Amino acid sequence: MILEAINISKYYGEFCALKDVSIGIDEGEFVSVIGPNGAGKTTLINVLTGFLKPDAGQVNFRGKDIAGKGPEELSTMGIARSFQLVHIFPELSLINTIKVAIISRQAKGMRLFASLARDKEVHEQALEVAELFGLADLLEETAKNCPQGIKKLLDVASAFALHPEIILLDEPTSGVSTSDKNKIMQVLVDASKKIGIKTVLQVEHDMDIVFSYSDRIIAMQQGKVLADGSPAEVEKNEEVICTVVGQKECFQTFNRIMSMNREERA
């Protein structure tokens, strides 16, 4: 097991965001975390990536307890993440944003007098990542001037450029038009394969994407794990679907839409 949360709890004052949550991610898995707003999905990601310290419980990465370790340390250990709300460097160009990750991975950040412009290795690797994410035509564009979809891709691309062992994506397609969602997911999956990132954990609201790309789905509600299983198992779980979609009568409609989407893709 590459990443494991054991009985983690997290409180915001009186409010319990996570209550005794235990999950495990195996190497090579594509796992999606689903649930209604306030279910604790983002808190779970924040705890797993060191952004928040759990009030109780243990987080293990390759068997080592990493609960409370900061993002920088986790990043060097091989854990990367992207954010629900895009996190970019507004004044940096797209190529330089990706270069920051590569410099960090290659531990070149403390080179005070080396010329960045002449570092071919960093430049070529940044180009490769940019090409994988379809950003090659916008290399010199300042990040803040890019459309939302590009910013989202840039956020994810910079995390991918770290070549992590596991990547945690918090709603990678949020704020992106429905027609572009599948394209972005395909880009992410292809990039993961090419870069060699085997394990992906994502929080996602779009059920079509969740059921299309996941090996396993973890459903959450009110800070607890409601279900943990394969897409086929979760799809049949009426309680999960009703909780996630929000209405009881939606269960059959949901299954009908999912089968239609499957046929369409086939």
Partner 1 sequence: MKKTGIVFLLLILAFLLVWPFIGPEYQVYLTLSFFAYSVALLGFNLLFNYTGLLSFGHALFIGVGGYTAAFLTSRFHIPYMEVSILVTILLSGVVAILIGLICVRYIKIYFAMLTLAFGMLFHSFLMKTYHLTGGDEGMSVEQPYLLGMDFSSMDQMAFFSGPYYYYSLGVLILASIAMWRIVHSPFGLCLTSIRDNPDKAEYLGIGIRKYRLLAFIISGCFTGVGGVLLAPITGHMDPGMVFWTHSGDMVFMTLVGGFSNFFGPMLGTVIFITLRDVISSYIEYWRLIFGALLAAIVILSPGGVIEVLTNLFTLIRRKIMAGENAS
Residues of this chain that interact with partner 1 (CB under 8 A) are 49, 70-72, 75-76, 80-81, 83, 87-92, 96-97, 99-101, 103-105, 108-117, 119, 122, 155, 158-159, 162
* Least distance to partner 1, CB of residue 108, Å: 5
Answer yes or no: are the C-beta atoms of 156 and 133 closer than 8 Å.
yes
* Least distance to partner 1, CB of residue 111, Å: 5
Token duo for residue 251: 């269960």
Residues pairing with 142 in the sheet:
93
* Least distance to partner 1, CB of residue 43, Å: 16
The position carrying tokens 């910013």 is 151
Pick between residue 70 and residue 246 the one whose CB is nearest to partner 1. Answer: 70
* Least distance to partner 1, CB of residue 235, Å: 33
Pick between residue 120 and residue 265 the one whose CB is nearest to partner 1. Answer: 120
Dump strand ranges (E) for the chain. Answer: 3-12, 15-25, 30-34, 56-61, 64-65, 79-82, 166-170, 199-203, 216-221, 224-229
Pick between residue 124 and residue 239 the one whose CB is nearest to partner 1. Answer: 124
* Least distance to partner 1, CB of residue 178, Å: 27
Q: How far apart are CA 199 and CA 163, in angstroms?
A: 11
Pick between residue 104 and residue 174 the one whose CB is nearest to partner 1. Answer: 104
Residues pairing with 80 in the sheet:
167
Residue 1, Cβ neighbours under 10 Å: how many? 13
Pick between residue 86 and residue 138 the one whose CB is nearest to partner 1. Answer: 86
Phi and psi for 176 in degrees, rounded to 5?
-110, 145
Pick between residue 99 and residue 216 the one whose CB is nearest to partner 1. Answer: 99
* Least distance to partner 1, CB of residue 249, Å: 41
Token duo for residue 99: 């270069």
Strand arrangement, sheet containing 166-170: 79-82, 166-170, 199-203, 30-34, 216-221, 224-229
